[in-house]
Amino acid sequence: MIGVFDSGIGGLTLLHELTKKLPKENFAYYADVANVPYSYKTPEQILGFVENAVLFLRKKGAKMIVLACNTATNVAIEYLREKYSFPIVAIQPAVKVAADFDDSKRILAAATPVTLAANRYKNLVASLAIEDRISNVALPKLVEFAEKGVFDGEEVEGYLKEQIETYNTQDYHYMVLGCTHFTFYEDLIEKLFENLKTVDGNEGTANQVKRILEKEGLLKTEGSGLVSFYESGEVVTNLGKYVKLMLRLRAN
Ligand code: DGL
């Protein structure tokens, strides 16, 4: 089984990509609903939450951990990789994907304030030498809207306009969705800002998961895959919310 972690429902957008790419694998999805949103927590707190969840998933038998949370990656991945030897694949804001598309266009990178403040993220941007054509926008409330199941309507549209219109969107071509919750809004963002093309790290991360499973000889090649769900250490028995969200992602 592969353990997939996020603070809440955001990582379902990566889980969706993973189940498409690896239909024979079993997955356990862990949503840290007791602590979401991570935006208002300290890096030390987040590190503790993430390590707890990772160890929980390992105890359940995870052969690999996927951090489906950019915030968790930026706070915890170096620490986890140093301390543990099992495979961990971690999503990060897809700024390289956006930068590689077209090197003359400006990039708007949206993420949580924790991700944008992290040295790991700053080093990633510096390594691509794109500081002069990237702007960062923190959208912590989008995580809260998603957790409340608000995916459209006046309030969320108003929030997106208010935050994004402070940038001259005509100058930008790509918007990086550097938080897995934001992928639920890709269509809405592209509808509201016609010249912005959204980019996320889900497909690249799913490809990386497959590559590592193959390399480590861990790929499951028979049977059909199952997904189980956990919320902050408790098994989820009423799957209604998760089924609805997975169907929503499948419909797009
Ligand atoms: N889905 C998480 C991410 O990718 C959201 C973090 C949060 O605010 O809880 O960053």
CATH number of domain containing 50: 3.40.50.1860
Q: How far is the CA of 143 from the centre of ligand 1 (A)?
A: 7
Catalytic member of 90, 142, 146, 179:
179
**Whole-prediction pTM:** 0.97
**How confident is the prediction for the chain on average, in pLDDT?**
96
Query: What is the number of domains present in the chain?
Result: 2
Domain co-membership, 37 together with 82: yes
pLDDT tier at 212, thresholds 50, 70, 90: very high
In whole angstroms, give the CA distance from residue 225 to residue 45. 33
Domain co-membership, 85 together with 206: yes
Judge if the beta carbon of residue 29 lies within 6 A of ligand 1.
no
Q: Is 3 left (phi over 0), alpha (psi -120 to 50) or beta?
A: beta
pLDDT tier at 59, thresholds 50, 70, 90: very high
Domain co-membership, 104 together with 182: yes
Domain co-membership, 191 together with 160: yes
Q: How far is the CA of 142 from the centre of ligand 1 (A)?
A: 10
Domain co-membership, 136 together with 191: yes
| Residue 179 designated active-site | yes
**Domain extent for 143:** 95-199
Domain co-membership, 194 together with 102: yes
Domain co-membership, 153 together with 109: yes
The answer for residues whose C-beta is within 8 angstroms of residue 72's C-beta and 6 or more apart is: 5, 6, 7, 38, 46, 50, 90
Q: How far is the CA of 223 from the centre of ligand 1 (A)?
A: 32
Domain co-membership, 60 together with 179: no
| Residue 7 designated active-site | no
Domain co-membership, 41 together with 58: yes
- Residue 146 in this model has a pLDDT that exceeds 80: yes
Tell me which of 184, 199, 214 is where a domain ends. Answer: 199
Tell me which of 199, 214, 233 is where a domain ends. Answer: 199
- Which 3 state secondary structure label does DSSP give 94? coil
Whether the bond into 37 is cis, omega within 30 of 0: yes
- Residue 105 in this model has a pLDDT that exceeds 90: no
- Amino acid making up residue 209: V
Domain co-membership, 238 together with 116: no
- Residue 102 in this model has a pLDDT that exceeds 80: no
Q: Is the dihedral of CA 139, 144, 146, 151 positive or negative?
A: negative
Residue 216 to residues 31, 80, 119, 127, 154: CA-CA distances in angstroms?
26, 19, 30, 28, 48
Judge if the beta carbon of residue 142 lies within 6 A of ligand 1.
no
The answer for residues whose C-beta is within 8 angstroms of residue 241's C-beta and 6 or more apart is: 9
The answer for residues whose C-beta is within 8 angstroms of residue 18's C-beta and 6 or more apart is: 2, 4, 25, 27, 66, 206, 209
Average pLDDT over residues 231-240: 96
In whole angstroms, give the CA distance from residue 152 to residue 154. 7
Domain co-membership, 73 together with 33: yes
Q: Which of 74, 196, 204, 46 is nearest to 135 (CA)?
A: 196
Judge if the beta carbon of residue 39 lies within 6 A of ligand 1.
yes
Judge if the beta carbon of residue 138 lies within 6 A of ligand 1.
no
Domain co-membership, 174 together with 207: no
Closest atom of ligand 1 to CA, residue 36: 9
Q: What is the pLDDT of residues 4-35, one digit of tens each?
A: 999 999 999 999 999 999 999 999 999 999 99
CA angle 47, 120, 29 (to 5 degrees): 45
Q: How far is the CA of 14 from the centre of ligand 1 (A)?
A: 12
